[in-house]
């Protein structure tokens, strides 16, 4: 745990809204962007064609360096600003152009990098229900984590809250169309890992969906 504190950037933490103040309020989406949420604008995206309906949610994990949490390395990667010299493991990835729509950090804070209405570069070579190039029609959410370290409860809360809002906004993302990266690129990818508690997530998601329906 000492690594977490050491690497935490207090400056940016101060900017993050405190989710605990409004734990059940729906996240609102306007023009493809979450409102009242930190935005960091990645250039690593492609335009979606108007006919490309969003019908898939892909859940990932990421940590930089692997197994270390906190700090701004993930954001730096998605912004193309990761410094190869900052860690021995960064040399191979500093030049990679990847992104996700959102990151949910260990403290539950959410950062959005790419408009949901555009394609983030998160899935790579991938296939869902016989259709390849999942970036074209999916939204990618990264959890700060690894395949074998339990995720924080607040991450499940925020992921389910975010998912419910996305389903409200993009109704073709049905429950069957929420998958892990491991499901659409099974030879290459293992995230979000066996540690990810799918039943817990789906139970929370059902609760958030009920809240949204009740509040209509
Ligand atoms: Zn992934």
> How far apart are alpha carbons 147 and 140 in whole angstroms?
17
Q: Reply yes or no on whether 152 is catalytic.
A: no
Catalytic residue among 22, 38, 52, 142: 142
Instruction: Give me the residue label for tokens 């290459």.
Output: 188
CA of 115 to the centre of ligand 1 (A): 18
CATH 3.40.80.10 fits 38-63+99-215, yes or no: yes
pLDDT tens per residue across span 56-87: 999 999 999 999 999 999 999 999 999 999 99
Query: How far away, in angstroms, is 73 Cα from ligand 1 center?
Result: 16
- Tens of pLDDT, residue by residue over 11-30, are 344 444 544 444 567 799 99
Q: How far apart are CA 120 and CA 33, in angstroms?
A: 13
What is the average pLDDT across 184-194? 97
For the stretch 92-142, pLDDT in tens is 899 999 999 999 999 999 999 999 999 999 999 999 999 999 999 999 999
Segments making up each domain of the chain, as ranges: 38-63+99-215
């Amino acid at each position: 745990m000492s690594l977490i504190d050491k690497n935490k950037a207090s400056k940016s933490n101060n900017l993050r809204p405190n989710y605990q103040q409004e734990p059940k309020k729906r996240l609102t989406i306007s023009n493809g962007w979450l409102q009242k949420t930190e935005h960091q604008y990645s250039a690593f995206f492609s335009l979606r064609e108007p006919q490309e309906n969003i019908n898939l949610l892909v859940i990932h994990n990421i940590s930089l360096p692997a197994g270390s949490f906190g700090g701004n390395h993930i954001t730096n990667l998605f912004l193309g600003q990761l410094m190869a010299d900052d860690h021995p493991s960064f040399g191979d990835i500093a030049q990679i152009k990847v992104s996700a729509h959102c990151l949910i950090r260990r403290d539950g804070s959410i950062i959005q990098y790419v408009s949901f209405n555009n394609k983030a570069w998160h899935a790579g070579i991938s296939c869902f229900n016989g259709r390849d190039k999942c970036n074209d029609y999916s939204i990618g959410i990264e959890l700060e984590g690894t395949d074998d370290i339990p995720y924080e409860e607040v991450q499940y809360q925020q992921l389910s809250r975010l998912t419910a809002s996305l389903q409200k906004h993009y109704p073709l993302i049905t429950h069957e169309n929420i998958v892990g990266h491991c499901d659409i690129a099974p030879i290459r990818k293992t995230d979000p890992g066996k540690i990810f508690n799918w039943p817990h997530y789906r139970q929370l998601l059902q609760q958030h969906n009920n809240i949204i329906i009740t509040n209509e």
